Amino acid sequence: MKDFLTDSFGRKIDYLRLSVTDRCNLRCAYCMPSEGVPQIKHKDILTYEEIIRSVKILAGLGIRKVRITGGEPLVRKGVISLIGSLNNIEGIEEVSLTTNGVLLKDCAGDLYAAGLSRINISLDTLDARKYRLLTRGGELKFVIDSIHSALRTGIRSVKINAVLSDLFDLEDAYDLIAFGKKEAIDIRFIEMMYPAFADTIDPLRNIECSTAFISPENKSGKSQRMVLKEDIFRIMKQFGNYHKVDEYKGCGPSVYYKIDGMASNVGFIINSKDICCSCNRARLTPDGLVRLCLFSNLELSLKDMLRADVTDEAIKEKLKDFIKIKPENRDAVCKSSGFKLSDYMNRIGG
């Protein structure tokens, strides 16, 4: 009888978010401080051989889809070869990638040849000046060129992710939906996950570049209010009537809408415990820790077991036991430990 990872609430875990590095070539204001965060030592990062062995073990427990994340995964040398190796693992049906797109242009074809199924590109604005400020130095042109390059490869799905921080405004939403219509790309709006350093600053109010986007009419010195999904629905209406898409898309908690006359969709990921009931994911950090929830510090070190020559079968038993303590939802975690993300997002891959 085949083993499966099933938690104590009956959720089958078949999706792995695999963070291959904590390094990133941007410093997005809602993700980390301008000076960056302490980096994991090189010796503590899983080698590719260790990653491949880990995924083989997890595939034997029912993991079917793997999303490569970071940090920025494309800054790690050899990641394309890793993707090819993961695609060859028995049981793995799909390998996808989340990237900021800065380095994607020159390797999109190689990623496609390695068997990459889907690419999600993080992009919060189409205003070049605002993008540069928000990312603390990024160039929008590189990302746009990368999107076009990815579309030319034939990769099955190219999607844009936009985070609804207080740096995001209604013009950004309109521009992204229009871009999605023009390029036939799904646009997905993600409600803000507060940064891990939010316990030391007022979330999103004191980050350096917030004041760069205060309008002249705003005399209060505070950044604008957060754009809500209801605001985006009103913008969608400007493009035409829309309806909810019923069929399942991807492997996450997104809800999608189709606007009449558009080939692409507009999606939402809501920051609510309501999406936890269908959570089918586990996370593997660059330093080999299995994490069960963004809001939980519960972890199991695969790295320690791999480097102690623990057998695959023994590791499987540890994983099956560990998955049983996956929290029911984020509220259950926050009530017991306080509202705080479990770590910097560059280490757990979102």
**309-333: pLDDT as tens digits:** 999 999 999 999 999 999 998 777 7
Total length of the chain: 350
Q: Per-residue pLDDT for 79 more than 60?
A: yes
Q: In the predicted model, what is the mean pLDDT of residues 16-39?
A: 89
Q: How many CB atoms lie within 10 A of CB 73?
A: 25
Q: What is the mean pLDDT of residues 92-109?
A: 98
| 163 Cβ contact list (under 8 Å, min separation 6) | 30, 122, 124, 190, 192
Which pLDDT band holds residue 201 (cuts at 50, 70, 90)? very low
Give residue 324's domain range.
15-348
Q: Give the per-residue pLDDT at 49.
A: 98
What is the pLDDT confidence band of residue 196, given thresholds at 50, 70 and 90?
very low
| Mean local confidence (pLDDT), 221-250 | 82
H or E segment at 10? Answer: none
Report d(CA 190, CA 121) in Å as an integer: 13
| Token couple for 223 | 């950044």
Q: Give the pLDDT band of residue 346 (cuts 50, 70, 90).
A: low
Residue 17 one-letter amino acid: R
Residue 112 belongs to domain with CATH number: 3.20.20.70
Q: Which pLDDT band holds residue 167 (cuts at 50, 70, 90)?
A: confident
pTM of the predicted protein model? 0.89
pLDDT at res. 318: 98
Structure confidence at residue 2 as a pLDDT band (50, 70, 90): low
Report the pLDDT value the prediction gives residue 254, as an integer from 0 to 100: 85
Residue 10 lies in a domain: no
Is 48 part of a structural domain of the chain?
yes
Quick check: 51 and 18 in contact, CB under 8 A? yes
CB 71 within 8 A of CB 286: yes
pLDDT of residue 311: 98
Count other Cβ atoms within 10 Å, centred on residue 181.
18
Q: Is residue 67 part of a domain?
A: yes
Does residue 10 register a pLDDT over 80? yes
**In degrees, to the nearest 5, what angle opens at C-alpha 236 toward C-alphas 235 and 240?**
120
pLDDT band at residue 217 using 50, 70 and 90 as cut-offs: very low
Residue 154 lies in a domain: yes
Confidence label for 155 from pLDDT (cuts 50, 70 and 90): very high
* Parallel/antiparallel/unpaired status of strands 255-259 and 242-244: antiparallel
Q: How far apart are CA 73 and CA 349, in angstroms?
A: 10
**Count of the separate structural domains present in the chain:** 1
Determine the Cα–Cα distance for residues 90 and 222; give it in Å rounded to an integer: 53
